[in-house]
């Protein structure tokens, strides 16, 4: 596992990271993952391959870093008026987004690095924590976050990564109903 350089927000380092991430996104849209190379990404980003090797170490690290940045939620879960409705809406959206072909690949890339996997887990926990805090503010008895990870998130991720069983809305609703019993 490589040691990543510290990224300063703004400045040259941020511009390089943005250019390299964008190059990966652009190339991934039209190039099979197996055909991506660091020299190809570097040329597209306008940097030298050594810049990428120095910063990310190898292609797997780079793809993992890009995946994490793309898997980061951009908004809080929808406020649907109750903990049950919030959790059901979040679960449905999470399942639909994560089971898309694009996200499946990003999840696999993020799994290549244990630190990135932990960061993605943190994103999910943060989203669920918002729902818990809303429930508390409404006077509802909040659910246990770790139990939600085990009983809602884990089965979805298992099916996304390892199972041929389909993911659909009835499945997400059943997970939430069973969890809230």
Q: Which domain holds residue 146?
A: 75-180
What is the widest separation between alpha-carbon atoms in the chain? 56
Average pLDDT over residues 124-153: 98
d(CA 13, CA 34): 27
Q: What is the pLDDT of residue 105?
A: 87
Residue 67 counted as domain residue: no
Report the CATH number that the domain containing residue 22 is assigned in CATH.
1.10.10.60
Residue 2 counted as domain residue: no
Q: How confident is the model at residue 141 (pLDDT cuts 50, 70, 90)?
A: very high
Which backbone phi and psi does 158 adopt, to 5 degrees?
-60, -45
Residue 1 counted as domain residue: no
Is-above-0.85 flag for pTM?
no
> Which structure tokens are listed for 132?
């818990």
d(CA 113, CA 118): 9
Average pLDDT over residues 154-172: 94
Residue 100 counted as domain residue: yes
Same domain, 38 and 95: no
Q: Give me the residue label for tokens 């690290």.
A: 61
Percent helix, percent strand, percent coil in the chain, to nearest 5: 75, 0, 25
Q: What is the pLDDT of residue 73?
A: 92
Residue 107 counted as domain residue: yes
- The string of pLDDT tens digits covering residues 52-108 is 999 999 999 999 999 999 889 999 999 999 999 999 999 999 999 999 888 888 898
Distances from the Cα of 109 to the Cα of 72, 78, 95, 126, angstroms: 14, 27, 18, 21
> Chain-wide mean pLDDT for the chain?
91
- The string of pLDDT tens digits covering residues 147-157 is 999 999 999 99
Same domain, 164 and 106: yes
Is the model's pLDDT at 13 over the cut of 90?
no
């Amino acid at each position: 596992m490589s040691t990543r350089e510290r990224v300063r927000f703004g400045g040259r380092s941020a511009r390089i990271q943005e250019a390299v991430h964008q190059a990966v996104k652009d190339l991934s849209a039209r190039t099979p993952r197996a055909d991506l190379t660091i020299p190809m990404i570097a040329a597209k980003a306008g940097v030298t391959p050594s810049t990428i090797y120095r910063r990310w170490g190898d292609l797997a690290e780079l793809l993992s870093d890009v995946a994490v940045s793309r898997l980061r939620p951009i908004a809080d879960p929808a406020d649907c008026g109750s903990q049950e409705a919030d959790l059901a809406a979040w679960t449905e959206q999470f399942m639909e987004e994560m089971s898309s072909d694009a996200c499946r690949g990003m999840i696999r890339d993020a799994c290549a690095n244990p630190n990135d996997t932990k960061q993605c887990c943190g994103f999910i926990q943060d989203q669920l924590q918002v729902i818990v805090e809303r429930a508390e503010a409404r006077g509802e008895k909040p659910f246990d976050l770790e139990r939600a990870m085990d009983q809602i998130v884990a089965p979805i991720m298992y099916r996304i990564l390892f199972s041929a069983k389909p993911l659909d809305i009835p499945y997400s609703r059943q997970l939430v109903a069973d969890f809230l019993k």
